[in-house]
Structure 1
Amino acid sequence: MKRTPFDLLVIFLAIIPLHLASSKTLPSVSLTKCHEQERSALLEFKQSLFHPELNIDWPYGEPSKLESWKVEDGDCCSWEGVECDEGTGYVTGLDLDQSCLSGPINSKASLFRLAHLHSLNLAFNNFNYSQIPSAIGDLVELTSLNLRSSNFGGQMPSQVLKLTNLTSLDLGLNSGLELRNPGMETMVQFLTKLEHLDLSWLNVSAPVPDAVANLSSLTSLELRQCNLQGTFPTTIFQLPRLQLLDLGDNPKLSGHLPEFRLHSPIKSLSLWCTNFSGNIPSSIGNLTQLTMLNFQDNKLLGEIPSSIGKLVQLSFLCLEMNLLSGEIPNSLINLTNLTLLRLQGNQLTGQIPVEITGLNRLTYLDLSFNKLTGPIPENISNLESLDALYLQSNNLNGILRLDVIFKLEHLHVLELSFNKFSSIIEPDTNASLSNLSVLGLASSNLSELPIFLSSQSELQWLDLSQNSIYGQIPQQFFNVHMSQLQVLNLSRNLITSFTTFTWPNLKVMDLTYNDIQGLLPIPPKSIELYLVSNNKLSGEISPEMCQLSSICMLDFSKNKLSGVIPPCLGNLSKTLSILSLNGNDLYGRFPQLQNNECWLTMIDVSDNQLQGSLPRGLANCSYLEFLNFGYNQIVDTFPSWMGSLSYLNVLILRSNSFHGAIGKPKARHQFPNLRIVDLSMNNFLGSLPFEYFDMWSAMKIHDTYADGYYYRRYESSKSYGSHNYLFYYAIGEYYSMTIINKGILTEYPRILAYLNVIDLSSNNFTGEIPNSVGSLTQLRMLNLSNNALTGSFLSQLNFLAFFNVSDNRLSGPIPQVNQFATFENNSYEGNLGLCGVPLTKKCRDPVEASPTPPSGASAEELNWKIVLMGFGSGLLERVLALLISDKSLCASFLPLISLISIKQGDDSWPPRFGGIGITRPFLL
């Protein structure tokens, strides 16, 4: 059969699909091959910076893409991470993130010979804080540049501004990189095509420029932790294509939320830890595409608008740590996609809305630290996916139905502490939350240990503090299957006996404020924080405590412990941060520190019977902030050798046997951060340490950030199992002290930041009050009483809240300016030469106080008169006693004594000074 041309065409068209289908099973053949000069440049770049040995410890764990770059492979376009233009063969894309690149890079790097690059990704490498090479500006065809987390440092080069085709620029997570000159404003004026901009963790230190609002193509803007300042332009919220905005962790950045427009494309909005204020507008409901909303740690106030229920795509809602008030809106029931809801740390009132229990996708619910009332809804068991439930520190009341809550089978964290439950219904003894790792029932009206604890085999963190658990801890509590337990808090109960530890992984044990008697229990070697203060423990501290190789905090204070401090405790200075042994009956020497490495930040051994001298090894404790050896029997001189401890805030050596003069500092800038100095009730002598007053700069500068806060607190955030346990040890219970205030020994259990104190009372200091005291403008309490100070005192001490110079030898009028007249009489008494309010002794008229000398009076007589007239009878007693013993002096002093007698208004003889009778015949 003869086929026509038309028949052949039909057959040909039928064969083509079959041929194409079979060709898919064959290896593809690249029609392009890379250029040799670019291949050489890539190999040279690999050779200079690739370190395959780093892959062993590389945090990302995958083999480097550069492993596929072989010298024998002539086509670089087939190498992993390399993309070429199919038509020209030039390298247009280079994706080398997580590729074990390490070392400094500069403009001579062969990488910059790849002139046709459109996309360059060097993220997650390590360029050793070298600058971004200026040659980056030669890659003018770049549309995407990703240098994220690659350890670049220094100022971003201005040549980046040449990359005007960039649509994506990611410089985030380079904490050493600065954006100042050029700054962000210049950048956005040049790079006008940007769609994605990430400068997170760069040091910007400037306001966000209004010009950012001109980037009409911008879809994502990430400026997290950039030290942004000023007020954020609200116009940026209105960018037509903006989907993601992250300004988190910029505490100096202020602003307010705008009125959001309809159909806004924003999907993720994060303003956590900024300084935004004002209300949340009801127009927030216009952000219908929103999936993540984070306004944590701001100053937002007012009610949560009910329109938030329109955000039906929302899966993450965080409004914690604000000033929000009112009730939780019922409209939250519409947020059926919500998996995380955090409203803690506000002033929310009313009951927990039953509607919340309908959000069956919730895995995390935190309503803690509010003012919520009423019971926990019984149908809370409907939250079948719930992993963490935080309701602590509210005013929840009624019966705590643990039997209902225990139906939440996936629960890991249950925090119900510090509410007002009247009673508790426990679950059945066989009931168990098999995954429960954190349980908080502090201040929950418990009178005994809950029975259900015996079935919680996965428990790692247990807080039963501030209850009324009484007597001896039952033995079965130590036998429960809590082998995973790491944190146990039984403080502030009525426990009388605790002798055994059976939890091998225990790291934190708090038994403070109980009535525990007997010997000090020995914790397991895994312990890190061991707190047993304010009990009735007796006996000696066992040397076994020296085996606690991980210990960072020991608090045995305010017990009845006796004996010596085991010398081996000095071996713990490598791990120990806080040591509090005050208020016991310990004696002997404080242990010598055995290691040059010392991590101690706080030592309080006050109110014991310790002897000897201060251990010189304390000079190695460069992080020491608080040192209290008060009320012991230490014999030593002033520890000037501690002057280099730049973090030392508090130095208390009260009531010991320190002696000698406080000499001149041996170096500059000694004790620069001292704010509380108590050397009272010792045997110091000589003049006041004016050179040190000049150096104590912390008492001269006002710290506005610290106003209202405890001026030092020990913070440690540790992860114990699945729960981050945050310790706040303020000066509250551990950094405390006593001060003589208005004649009364006053305990300061919490020391505020502005409490700057100098107490040098009850020593043997002599001389005048130095002018350098006047430079300590942030000083609030000054006690110089019970010394032998002379002269007048400074009128410029107008910043003091407490002042005591009683029982010295001061003279002259009390300044009637500022607050000097407001101090009580006992602040000045015992200075017989002082006069004026508040003392009853009136000052003489200034003209009369310095009379013209009588005719014939010598200069020597005048000088004696002026000097002695300012002093009280204590000095006159000694002068007149001298006259009695040496009659040859009488003639020259006769005019003086007569003058004193007249000025005192005493016309009768004999005048009496201090009980010594002087008769006219003797004077004549």
Structure 2
Amino acid sequence: MKGMPFDLFVVLLTIIPLHFASLETLPSMSSTKCHEQERSALLEFKQSFFDAESSVCLLYGHRHKLESWKLEDRDCCDWEGVDCDEGMGYMIGLDLSKSYLFGSINSKASLFRLAHLQSLNLAWNNFNISQIPSAIGDLVELMSLNLSSSNFKGEIPSQVLKLTNLTSLDLSNNFGLELRNPSMETLVQFLTKLEHLDLHLLNVSAPVPDAVANLSSLTSLVLRNCNLRGTLPTTIFELPRLQLLDLSGNPKLSGHLPEFHLGSPIKSLSLRWTNFSGNIPSSIGNLTQLTMLDFRHNKLSGEIPSSLGKLVRLSYLNLGMNLLFGEIPASLTNLTNLTSLDFHDNQLIGQIPAEITSLTWLVYLDLSFNRLTGPIPENISNLKSLDYLNLQSNNLNGTLRLDVILKLQHLNGLQLSSNEFSSIIEPGMNTSLSNLSSLGLASSNLSELPIFLSYQSRLQWLDLSQNRIYGPTPPWFLNVSTSQLQFLNLSRNLITSFTAFKWLNLGTLDLQFNDIQGLIPIPPKSITSYLVSNNKLSGEISLEMCQLSSIGILDLSKNKLSGVIPPCLSNLSDSLSVLNLNGNDLYGRFPQLQNDVCKLKMIDVSDNQLQGLLPRGLANCSTLEFLNIENNQIVDTFPSWMGLLSYLKVLILRSNRFHGAIGEPEAHDQFPNLQIVDLSMNNFSGSLPSEYFDMWSAMKVHDAVDTYYDVGYKSSYIAFRQVGVEYDYSMTITNKGILMKYERILVYLNMIDLSSNNFTGEIPNSVGSLTKLHMLNLSNNALTSSIPLSLANLTKLESLDLSSNKLLGMIPPTLAQLNFLAFFNVSDNHLAGPIPQVNQFRTFENDSYGGNLGLCGVPLTKKCGNPVEAPPAPPSGAFAEEIDWKIILMGFGSGLVIGVVMGLNTTSKIERWFLRFYRGWQQRQMHHIKFV
């Protein structure tokens, strides 16, 4: 370097080699950072979801992550959702969650050529109910796989077992996805490194395997709504790193809570809606890291342990819907971080601890449906963050201080119904009030509509039922929350008029059991449930009712309505589910349905003066469950044309002018779900419908596991249910000359009443196949021949009435094995021979057998020919107290339905004793049955 200073030359000699050395380590300016084969795989994957047939996201204006993947952009490592290894440039992470991908995916997808992937997230897309591709097993380096909420279905492929490096697996929220082969046990045996496992909504249909307790690295386990069965291994609670355990929504999963050890890392524990039983152990206080505890909807019993007060980090505590009793422990006041406290539907007693008002972070407090007494704490207004307060259905008493409660400025929902308040102090109108969206003050001793409601502009839900509110509704009330109110219940008051509506969005209006007079108040067109039964409404049904195009429940029953049923009312069959016109003075024909679409589930037009034929359009009501047309003047034959209504459970044609023989079924599966059939007091003739008895499968026990009370977590009553509305079906049954009203119908109640017709011939053996029957009434016909031995198969039978026929022969001794039989009548026949003298037959008196000159033995005075066979008469006087109750109630653990009811309506000694002895049980178990 001629002319260059020596020191500068030395510096250049030092820098230049370093510069060229660094250039050697950098990629060429013309090359891409990512590998070309992976870039091509991504572009091919994009193309498969961007053609016109497989992608719809652009139609709705959604932004697609894959839009950032450009052909001209050589560096795919900068594309959205892509993560590359900085050292080698290989793609190790791909996050396409919420990318609005739509279409199927299979094992040929280019996605599975990304062999270096360690993390794959395809959550919240729509893969169009395709199966998880088996090629997922080729991505053997995966440590995290998230396929949640992406509309996969079918079985999880066994190739997932190859992913032995997985630490996180989320397959949740895919309806129709199943874990069969491999099983859950096999899955956890192969994927031993798992730290996070979420199978929410996956159909497992198996017990939780013991092998789960071997996943020593597991920190999060979510098996919510997986149809788990069996008993949960308690060792799972002892996993050394477990912080979140969610097993909720598995009602067939049983278990009990273990003793918890101090130092457990569990922070969130949810067993909601499982089948856990036993006590909550005091050692629950050792879970000092807990922030969320949810044991709702189980069978946990015993007292709430005071050790819960040690869980000072808890923000959510729910023990609702269990069998807990005792008082609310005062130690809960230590839980100063609580935002939600729920103990509803238990058996808690005592007062609400005044100290609970120190939990100033509480947003949600629910102590409803317990047995709490005393007043609402005076310092309730200290709960300044409270959004929802529910104390309904307790025994709270004293003065209800609404003026204090409504100082809670953040209060949104207030439920205080069904307590024993002596009086109510309303807030002054100058007071700043919380603006509620829901309010329940049913059964609160109100004598008038609370004036503070006039200042409520956000009310959506209002229940003031079962009070003493009297007179016409005041004008100011009709202006309450006119644009917001959706639900209004004023039933069971003394309201005399209700003539105007200003609520534009009202969906449910319940005015039942008042004294409202005049014409039917016409609700707004937004109405979906309108109930005005048991009032004094008169006049005709207005044609304006036909404009209620959204209505699902219409109950005008038990009023004084007259005229015909407007034919246009049948136009509502595409929205109407419940139509009840029972107990009016309506006449004419039941209108023909004008629409082919019929959504009706319940029709009750009983106790009117309707005439003519049944409308044949009812055959289009494919979801019909309940039909009651009793006590009208319908002239028709048996409606065999309704036999294909596969959901029909209750058919009551009683007391009309039906006539003729029932005949043979038109198909082999007529009325398959019928449980209650009442054809009594008509003019049917011919033989009994033996072929129908053969096919009424809902009245039969099909296998050994078909138990008497097998209702599980389903409702116990036959009713119409939709979101926010439950409408119970009711009926009357005549038995033993007594009219009994069932306000609610048990789902397992099975009855047949063919009495007071002109049936002839023998009682067919096929009736003995209806082994779920609780009541059978064939009285007042012209039946001949003998009582069939097959009736002994009806082991659940509680009432059997064969009186006033022409039956011959003996009373079959095998009927004595009907251990539930509480009522038996064979009077006025031509029976002969000895009366059985064992079991239930020891409880029946003379009127069960009168008018049969050939019968002999107790309780009749006529002795049988062989005095040795005649047992001694039961002692008089104290008979009802001394009789062996074990005989009367044999099998009582399975529960009585009809037998208990019969006892309430008769005067015989044994039945009076029966009533006294089991009155307490009856009040608990049979409160749903009322009598007229």
TM-score range, shorter chain: 0.7 to 0.9
For 2:94 and 2:359, locate their aligned partners in 1 and report how far apart those are by CA, in whole Å: 45
**Which is worse superposed, 695-704 or 534-543?**
695-704
The aligned residue for residue 55 of structure 1 is: 57
Q: How far 1:772 sits from its partner (Å)? A: 0.9
Query: Counterparts of 1:229-268 in structure 2 under 5 Å?
Result: 229-268=229-268
Q: Alpha-carbon deviation of 1:74?
A: 2.0
The 1-side partners of 2:436 and 2:710 are apart by 39
- 1-side partners of 2:657 and 2:71: how far apart? 79
Q: Give the superposition deviation at 1:56.
A: 5.9
Alignment match of 2:849 (pick from 812, 833, 839): 839
Maintained 8 Å contact 1:590/1:610: yes
Q: Distance in 1 between matches of 2:540 and 2:348?
A: 50
How far apart are residue 843 of structure 1 and its match? 5.4
Aligned equivalent of 1:190: 190
CA distance in structure 2 between the aligned counterparts of 1:8 and 1:818, rounded to whole angstroms: 118
Match of 1:897 in 2: none
Partner Cα distance (1:379, 1:495) in 2: 35
Structure of higher CA gyration radius: 1
> C-alpha displacement at 1:53, in angstroms?
5.6
Equivalent positions of 1:267-306 (< 5 A) are 267-306=267-306
Q: 1:820 to 1:277 in 2, by over 3 A?
A: closer
Gap regions ≥5 residues in structure 2: 20-28, 836-847, 858-863, 866-932
TM-superposed deviation, 1:57? 7.7
Q: Aligned runs of 1:740-819 on 2, under 5 Å?
A: 740-798=734-792, 799=795, 800-819=797-816
Q: Does 1:558 align with 2:564?
A: no
State which drifts further: 467-476 or 537-546: 467-476
Task: Give the secondary structure class of the aligned counterpart of 2:633.
Answer: coil
1:712 Cα deviation from its structure 2 partner: 1.2
Q: Mean alpha-carbon deviation: is it higher for 479-488 or for 740-749?
A: 479-488
Letter in 1 for 2:826: Y
Contact 2:55 2:102 survives alignment (8 Å): no
- Deviation string 1:578-597 (CA, Å, 9 cap, x unpaired) is 11000000011112111111
| In structure 1, distance between residues paired with 2:390 and 2:346 | 14
The answer to which of 666-675 and 602-611 deviates more is 666-675
Name the CA distance, whole Å, in 2 between partners of 1:687 and 1:126.
Answer: 59
Find the counterpart in structure 1 of residue 636 from structure 2.
636
Q: 1:176 & 1:492 partners in 2: Cα distance? A: 46
Residues 131-187 of structure 1, C-alpha deviations (whole Å, 9 max, x = no match): 211111111111111110111111111111011111111111112111112101011
> Residues of 1 paired with 2:493 and 2:210: CA distance?
58
Q: Which amino acid aligns with 1:54?
A: V
Question: Cα distance, 1:512 vs. partner?
Answer: 0.6
Cα contact 1:50–1:102 (8 A) shared by 2: no
Q: What's the counterpart of residue 711 of structure 2?
A: 706
Partner of 1:475: 475
Unaligned runs of 5+ in 1: 17-28, 718-725, 850-924
What secondary structure, in the 3-state scheme, does the structure 2 residue paired with 1:205 have?
coil
- Percent identity of equivalent pairs: 72
Indicate the residue corresponding to 1:899 in structure 2.
none
Q: Residue 538 of structure 1 aligns with which residue?
A: 538
* Partner amino acid, structure 2, of 1:715: R
Shift of 1:832: 2.5
The offset of 1:785, in angstroms, is 1.2
Partner Cα separation in structure 2 for residue 57 and residue 369 of structure 1: 50
* CA distance in 2 between partners of 1:94 and 1:709 (Å): 46
Note the C-alpha offset of 1:739: 1.6
Preserved contact between residue 588 and residue 611 of structure 2 (Cα < 8 Å): yes
Decide whether the 8 Å contact of 2:170 with 2:199 is kept in 1: yes
Greater alpha carbon shift after TM alignment, 269-278 vs 492-501? 492-501
Q: 1:826 to 1:712 in 2, by over 3 A?
A: closer
**Residue 8 (structure 1) shift:** 9.1
Deviation at 1:434, TM superposition (A): 4.6
Q: Is 1:827–2:825 an aligned residue pair?
A: yes
Q: Distance in 2 between matches of 1:193 and 1:827?
A: 71
Name the amino acid aligned to 1:490.
L
| Structure 2 counterpart of 1:854 | none
Residue by residue over 1:324-376, the C-alpha shift from the partner in whole angstroms, topping out at 9 and shown as x without a partner, is 11111111122111111111111111111111111111111111111111111
> In 2 relative to 1, CA 793–41 (structure 1 residues): closer, same or farther, beyond 3 Å?
same
Q: Aligned partners of 1:761 and 1:472: how far apart in 2?
A: 46
TM-score by length of 2: 0.84
Does the CA-based 8 Å contact 2:406-2:434 persist in structure 1?
Answer: no
Q: Distance in 2 between matches of 1:277 and 1:821?
A: 34
Amino acid at match of 1:839: Y
What is the distance in 2 between the residues matched to 1:595 and 1:221?
Answer: 51
- Provide, for residues 67-96 of structure 1, a one-character-per-residue CA deviation record: whole Å limited to 9, x for no partner: 111122222211111111222222211111
Task: Tell me, in whole angstroms, the C-alpha distance in 2 between the residues paired with 1:67 and 1:431.
Answer: 57
* CA offset digits 1:372-406 (Å, max 9, x no partner): 11111111111111111111111111111111111
CA change 1:53–1:152 in 2 (3 A) is: closer
Task: Go from structure 1 to structure 2 and tell me whether the alpha carbon gap of 1:285 and 1:705 turns closer, same or farther (over 3 Å shift).
Answer: same
- Summarize the Cα distance change of 1:833–1:395 in structure 2 as closer, same or farther, 3 Å threshold: closer
Q: 2:317 is paired with a residue of what secondary structure?
A: strand
- 1:4 CA drift (Å): 9.2
Distance 1:481 1:65, change over 3 A: closer
Is residue 710–residue 750 contact of structure 1 (8 Å, CA) maintained in 2? Answer: no
CA apart distance, 1:55: 2.9
Secondary structure in structure 2 of the residue aligned to 1:185: helix
What is the CA-CA distance between 1:790 and the residue it aligns to? 1.3
Q: Give the whole-Å Cα distance in 2 for the aligned partners of 1:709 and 1:434.
A: 36
Evaluate the alpha carbon distance shift between residue 736 and residue 825 of structure 1 in structure 2; reply closer, same or farther with a 3 A threshold: closer
**Quick one: distance in 1 between partners of 2:770 and 2:111?**
59
Q: What's the secondary structure of 2:33's corresponding residue?
A: coil
Residue correspondences, number: 816
* 1:324 pairs with 2:334: no
- Letter in structure 2 aligned against 1:174: N
Whether the 8 Å contact between 1:456 and 1:482 is mirrored in structure 2 is no
| Distance change in 2, residues 1:581/1:482 (3 Å) | same
Letter in 2 for 1:317: L
Match of 2:732 in 1: 738
Aligned to 2:357: 357
Displacement of 1:30 in angstroms is 12
Change (3 A) 1:264 1:659: same
CA shift for structure 1 position 729: 2.1
Matched residue, 1:921: none
RMSD: 2.5
Counterpart residue number, 1:572: 572
Structure 1, residues 454-513: CA drift from partner, whole Å, max 9, x if none? 111111111111111112222232244543211111111111222121222211111111
| Counterpart secondary structure, 1:614 | coil
Query: Does the 8 Å CA contact 1:526/1:550 hold for their aligned counterparts?
Result: yes
Letter in 2 for 1:801: E
- Name the structure 1 match of 2:528: 528
CA–CA distance in structure 2, aligned partners of residues 572 and 604 of structure 1: 16
Q: Give 1:515 deviation, angstroms.
A: 1.2
Structure-to-structure mapping, 1:617-696, within 5 angstroms: 617-696=617-696
Name the SS of the counterpart of 2:710 in structure 1.
helix
Kept after mapping to 2: 8 A contact 1:432/1:452: no
| Partners of 1:539 and 1:560 within 8 A in 2 | yes
Return the offset for 1:259. 1.0
- Rounded to whole Å, the distance in 1 between the matches of 2:186 and 2:381 is 56
Distance 1:534 1:481 in 2: 27
**For residues 56 and 341 of structure 1, what CA distance do their matches in structure 2 show?**
45
Question: Take 1:286 and 1:494, find their aligned partners in 2: how far apart are those partners?
Answer: 55
CA distance in 1, matches of 2:495, 2:826: 49
Deviations 1:214-241 (CA, angstroms, capped at 9, x unpaired): 0000000000001000000110100000
Whether contact under 8 Å (1:319, 1:342) holds in the other structure is yes
* Aligned partner of residue 803 in structure 1, secondary structure: strand
Conservation of the 8 A alpha-carbon contact between 2:787 and 2:810? no
Is the 1:339–1:362 Cα contact (8 Å) retained in structure 2?
Answer: yes
Kept in 2: contact 1:279–1:300 (CA 8 A): yes
